[in-house]
Chain A
Amino acid sequence: MASYIGSATSRVDGRAKVTGEAKYAGEFNVAGLVHGYVVESTIPKGRIARIDTSEALGIAGVIDVLTHQNRPPMADKDDAYKDEVAPEKGSPYRPLYDDRILFNGQPVALVLAEDWETARVAASLVRVDYQKEPHITDLHAQREKAFASDTPAKPRGDAEKSFAAAAVRHVAEYFIPTEHHNPMELFASTAMWDDGKLVVYDKTQGVQNVQKYLCGVFDLKPDEVRVMSPYMGGGFGAGLGPQYQVVLAVLAARALKRPVRVMLTRAQMYGLGHRPASIERLALGANGDGTLAAMTHEAIAVTSQFEEFARNDTGWGNLLYKSANAKFGHKLVKLDVPTSCDMRAPGAATGVYGLECAMDELAIALKIDPVQLRLQCYSDRDQGEDLPYTSKQLRECYRAGRDGVRLGQAQGGAALNARRQRTGRLGHGDGRVGSAADAGHGPHRADGQWPRGSRDRGFRHRHRNLHDHGAGCGRHARPADRQYQRQARRFDTASMPAGGRIVDRVLGVQRHREYGPRGSW
């Protein structure tokens, strides 16, 4: 296959991953490890009236069942639960904190047993009685109650008036249902003790975020808890912030004074954050020549009853399509669900989906090729900021796509040819209509430092605690870490192949790096 960008490079951890040598958060073992199994709420809203754990406790091998009634102390201020990626507005969810049920699938008890299977059997025997309250989980039924949350992109001109006067008008609504991350690796945390200090192996992209969060929730000093995440089997955004199982693992480790692992099941992972369902409403007004006169994009997205998670769904048209008149609006609807969170291209994936569908449909209304419409509306400026791009190659992409189609035809794409002649345009069925995604992100920045004395044979080592989230940026350099190796021996763990070397091409300079663990210290 032809290579368009650079040359193929094997992942440095590829071998460890495919051979099963790579250890994930739920795979670190230590003598005396206790296994936790979560009991979830079966109602979306109300209060826990009674929890009967007697039958579960009667099972041989069950050590304890933690509930809001018998858990060790936890912080009682919202600030402690606000991790770095938590929404600014609201009161973050606190696992096993009190008797309130805020969403279906919320943890209401943690069964602790000598092995996972016993914990699972016992979990099915925990009886929970609820005082149910009426719930609402349907976005459409609540859309009239939508409220403005964040500030959308600035308006330009008079979108309504220009739309009303436009030669061709297209109004459409697109509904995007909830999307769950549910990455391949189950969310899991293993909390161990090391000389009275906690070492937590967590499935997370942000070890420092989790460490800081745990310090707040459990009133710990930073040197009392270390968070490790040597490998991660997919995060897609769900791994950015702490998930509830890390609280439960630490809570149980503190309650029992033993090492504890809590691993969620795949089904339980539907009780975590997700990409919110949204309604994208587009109103596009076109001039007779197929240029845009007005663009209005309004989005309504879901958040929980207790936090306001908002991302910019609208405003992407500013980057893509020239329109003298534009208006944007973004609202939220509160439902009895877990707070939504970031997922791959938050805001853009949903907003641009609506925008591009509307552009395709506008092209049909204008009876012109949808690619042609995009070329006619092509914007060389970010109209929101009113700044030119330093570079934008989308026009060339369209051209390459068009050439690709011609090549396909030359190679005997008779059916496609017939379709083009019949319809006079390209369609989605041809799989060749260009779309645009945000390319505006800067390079991901890691929280890092250049440690003193880290120069070695002319090469530099750099500490970094941002995690590979699957795209292959896991070039976490760290000098050989004696403390880690000591710990690894003690816990019979070897999360990283010793003395692995990385060739880093980022700066165009070959730098060999040894890589060590990715931890919060």
Chain B
Amino acid sequence: MTPFQYARANDVADAIKQIATDPSAKFIAGGTNLIDLIKYDVEGPARLIDISHLPLRSIEPTAAGGVLIGAMVPNTDLAYHPLIEERYPLLARAILSGASQQLRNMASTGGNLLQRTRCFYFYDTATPCNKREPGSGCSAIDGVNRINAILGTSDSCIATHPSDMCVALAALEATVHVAGPAGARTIAFADFHRLPGNTPQRDTNLEPDEIITAIELPTKGFSANYSYLKIRDRLSYAFALVSVAAALELDGDTIKEARLALGGVAHKPWRSSAAEAALLGQRADATAFAQAADWLLHGAKGYGHNNFKIGLARRAIVRTLGQAARRTPQSISDKKIR
């Protein structure tokens, strides 16, 4: 752990100004991931700019019919907000299946998007890791890779993105609002996180001098037919081996619209337009769900210890779509999978 300076940002403009003058600085909000990374010597910013006091804590309906979530809204407040519980229960369930109550109390909405992989080798500074130290090699590919990715991997990195919340945001097609020296811009959720390619050190397309200010949800919340199923080694306080966010719009038995995203399997929440298109106009049954699973898992590749994830994901997709179709979303409190 390296000593660091601490400064507080008063507003968004101040935060942008401060980060521009010191490229070795990092923003800190809830700190639920960054503090760990500093303690483990994975990250060593010379300066922390505290953005937790920025006035970005509101959850408001938008004129377009969606909801705008301030980047500093704690995960807990977001999960239990009436607008989210009623209109976007998929998001609420995904958030509540992650971390612990204490962590969710601290963690911010913006920070959740920026949390880093929990790949064992990323955390173990005694081992090579292209994400931590570009060019040093990937220890996971031939190592203990039970928790690692099966989709969208590269020869440089097979890390996964650990968030549950982001899987739901991907399925809901949220938009990320960011601000930087050049002004404000929006990034579609699908374009926010990156695949590792040969630059696994870059998790997202957020520029180093930019800050997330808000997440915008579109009108459609799929509050009738949805489910978030998370499969993990422990029933709580564990990252997903595989998670599935499923959202359907049904006309009787017929699928009018489908959203499907996977967590725990790739460097970003994993979606496939082919998988969702394959469901359109189909009867909501196991045959259609299995076809969608095939599309979504097209090209999946195991690295030894994580081979099981392919079969697990296939069954989890079918199960979750079934839960969504039956309007029996996976319960957070009763963890039995039905």
Please report A residues at the B interface, Cβ cutoff 8 Å. 42-43, 120-121, 124
Contacts and interface: CB of A to CB of B under 8 A. Distances in A.
B3 A121 contact: yes
A124 B126 contact: no
Sorted from nearest, which 8 A-B pairs have the closest CB atoms?
A42-B126, A124-B41, A121-B1, A120-B1, A124-B1, A121-B3, A121-B2, A124-B2
Contacts of A42: 126
Main secondary structure on chain B at its contact with chain A? loop
Nearest to B41: A124
Interface residues of B, number: 5
Contacts of B41: 124
A215 to B, nearest CB: 36
Contacts of A121: 1-3
9 contacts: A42-B126, A43-B126, A120-B1, A121-B1, A121-B2, A121-B3, A124-B1, A124-B2, A124-B41
A328 to B, nearest CB: 32
Contacts of B2: 121, 124
Contacts of B3: 121
A420 B2 CA distance: 61
Interface string B137-167: 0000000000000000000000000000000
Nearest to A429: B336
Main secondary structure on chain A at its contact with chain B? loop
Interface string B117-128: 000000000100
Contacts of A124: 1-2, 41
A124 B125 CA distance: 10
Interface string B274-314: 00000000000000000000000000000000000000000
A120 B41 CA distance: 11
Nearest to A265: B39
A124 B126 CA distance: 11
A510 B18 CA distance: 70
Interface in B235-258: none
- Which of A42, A43, A120, A124: most chain B CB closer than 10 A? A124
Contacts of A43: 126
A42 B41 CA distance: 14
Contacts of B126: 42-43
A121 B38 CA distance: 11
Contacts of B1: 120-121, 124
Nearest to A128: B126
Interface string B1-44: 11100000000000000000000000000000000000001000
Given A120-B1, A124-B41, 7 more contacts: A42-B126, A43-B126, A121-B1, A121-B2, A121-B3, A124-B1, A124-B2
Interface string B28-66: 000000000000010000000000000000000000000
A121 B41 CA distance: 10
B305 to A, nearest CB: 12
A12 B91 CA distance: 46
Nearest to A41: B126
A452 to B, nearest CB: 53
A405 B1 CA distance: 55
Nearest to B124: A42
A158 B41 CA distance: 59
A491 to B, nearest CB: 30
A105 to B, nearest CB: 10
A221 to B, nearest CB: 41
A174 to B, nearest CB: 18
Nearest to A121: B1
A124 B3 CA distance: 11
Nearest to B336: A429
Nearest to A267: B40
A159 to B, nearest CB: 35
A120 B2 CA distance: 9
A124 B43 CA distance: 13
A124 B44 CA distance: 12
A43 B124 CA distance: 12
A35 B325 CA distance: 59
A120 B39 CA distance: 9
